[in-house]
Structure 1
């Protein structure tokens, strides 16, 4: 009697035809792999639970009898509740609409009343300003009134007319930084640029300066607020026109001075627009009335009216056409 050898003796059959090598995959001769998750997901997208429910519904024929009636009643109750909530919301909205309309109308009426009141007060202020000018001229005399006008013109509180220069500066093209992708503002006019132009004009003998119509005084500020430039409290935008009344050669001296060379450099490097022109008989409006916290009398006596306004330079406009600040 022959006993089979457990290690492949004569009593064991070799599936590989007696080669003596075992198949690492269990002797089947075919490799098998575990299903890939994505492959299985796309092959069977439906969850097994949904598949079982669908199969059970096909076998049983779906809901019937009491269960079907209960489900229909539940759906009807839910739809009825949703419709009730929509009706309530609609009625509340319609009830609140008249109140909002009334509030809006009241605000509009208030704005109109305040506008009419402002116009009435402005007309009264202009009338009183004219009366003050007449009383001043009658009580003080023409010489004193002329001196007051000259002082007001020098302080920026009187509308003036004369010859001078106009400096126009505008923003250059905007570029994008190739590394960061941010917008570069090198070609934009800064508050320091306008400060430089104004200081240069003052140093060259300018007697009155306005930036985009905003008259400069001893208390005026030129500052940056984000991307906007404020002259006093009012924003100005490009192109920036700096108009000055002063000596006859004010434009030529500005163009040939350090300020003109500075703006030429900005124009060549960043593409900013820069131009200097001579102006004749230009009018600058008065600034708003100054609000000083402290003041001291001037040590030097005021100059005579005949010498304070050089010929062809600064000339106060008569008080009848002066702005509010010239009172």
Structure 2
């Protein structure tokens, strides 16, 4: 019974009690209490963090004018190069017009002017104007970019509301089949060598990106051309896009539409050979 009483009265060993007493006496003698040490450590950490933030902000403030200057220099270079490219393109157009005029003059002397003019019109090498139709094709009002960047596959034709390159291909082919004599899209003249392709969500005509709405001008008999196109399979396809996907279209007959010449097209005529073949 005395053993149980001793354990209850002295739950801690005397050695533990003496060690606790020594630690307490050492702390009171000049050491820093744990709570105070923790507060000092936290304060030091905050001061260090504030110092790092201040130094970073100062460096950013010093570097900001340099970054702004480099950005402005880059913008100026882009503007300069764009102006140079526009000037070169203008020079190319002038030279092309001069070559075409000289070519027509040379062919006129040889008695082939009428045929050369016809070939130039059909090939897209010369600008044309006359009656025709104006067809405007635009994305739906709430068009999205589709899924996985390939919104209109043959399987699961996604409702994105965006006009695709294959849509414009069908529009152009339908107009040719309906009797169009010359066609342009957003000022880009089409020829037999023209390509309508896609790069992401953009439509390219002869590697030049176009921005919706897409304005298609076609020279021909306006009323007949409009009626034939709308009744054709490609016209009905465009109507289905309008009904099912919200694609916006508008077609009208025009008394005079003007189409520019296609760039980088030079008409060359062949002459029959006078040499006799060897057997």
Aligned runs of 1:124-203 on 2, under 5 Å?
124-125=91-92, 128-129=95-96, 132=99, 135-136=102-103, 141=108, 147-171=115-139, 184-185=158-159, 188-203=162-177
How far does the alpha carbon of each residue in 1:239-273 deviate from its partner, in whole angstroms, 9 at most, with x for none?
A: 54332112462223223333344444555555655
* Structure (1 or 2) with the greater helix fraction: 2
Q: Which residue of 1 aligns with 2:215?
A: 241
Alignment pair present for 1:207 and 2:172: no
Count of matched residue pairs: 231
- Cα distance, 1:102 vs structure 2: 3.5
Q: Which has the larger radius of gyration?
A: 1
Maintained 8 Å contact 1:166/1:278: yes
- Cα distance, 1:209 vs structure 2: 0.9
Q: Which residue of 1 aligns with 2:73?
A: 106
Maintained 8 Å contact 2:178/2:228: yes
The residue matched to 1:67 in structure 2 has which SS?
coil
Maintained 8 Å contact 2:139/2:161: yes
- Cα distance, 1:203 vs structure 2: 2.3
Q: Which residue of 2 aligns with 1:231?
A: 205
The residue matched to 1:206 in structure 2 has which SS?
coil
How far does the alpha carbon of each residue in 1:277-300 deviate from its partner, in whole angstroms, 9 at most, with x for none?
A: 322111012233259xxx997799
Q: Distance in 1 between matches of 2:142 and 2:175?
A: 28
Does the C-alpha gap of structure 1 residues 83 and 208 become closer, same or farther in structure 2, counting only changes over 3 Å?
A: same
Structure 1 residue ranges, 4+ long, deviating more than 6 angstroms after superposition: 173-176, 295-300
- Aligned match for 2:63, one of 90, 96, 100: 96
The residue matched to 2:204 in structure 1 has which SS?
strand
Q: Distance in 2 between matches of 1:120 and 1:79?
A: 60
Maintained 8 Å contact 2:171/2:238: no
Aligned runs of 1:210-221 on 2, under 5 Å?
210-221=184-195
The answer for unaligned runs of 5 or more in structure 1 is: 1-59, 177-181, 301-327
TM-score, normalised via structure 1 length: 0.53
- Cα distance, 1:161 vs structure 2: 0.5
Q: Distance in 1 between matches of 2:119 and 2:225?
A: 22
Alignment pair present for 1:82 and 2:49: yes
Aligned runs of 1:11-26 on 2, under 5 Å?
none
How far does the alpha carbon of each residue in 1:38-95 deviate from its partner, in whole angstroms, 9 at most, with x for none?
A: xxxxxxxxxxxxxxxxxxxxxx9xx976315655654554444334433433443344
Alignment pair present for 1:281 and 2:220: no
The answer for unaligned runs of 5 or more in structure 2 is: 1-23, 145-155, 273-279
Q: Alpha carbon RMSD of aligned pairs, Å?
A: 4.3
How far does the alpha carbon of each residue in 1:120-160 deviate from its partner, in whole angstroms, 9 at most, with x for none?
A: 43454455456545655665546656654543332223221
Does the C-alpha gap of structure 1 residues 121 and 94 become closer, same or farther in structure 2, counting only changes over 3 Å?
A: same
- Cα distance, 1:207 vs structure 2: 1.5
Q: Which residue of 1 aligns with 2:16?
A: none
Q: Distance in 2 between matches of 1:267 and 1:98?
A: 52
Maintained 8 Å contact 1:174/1:184: no
- Cα distance, 1:110 vs structure 2: 2.1
How far does the alpha carbon of each residue in 1:92-117 deviate from its partner, in whole angstroms, 9 at most, with x for none?
A: 33443343234223323323432443
- Cα distance, 1:208 vs structure 2: 0.6
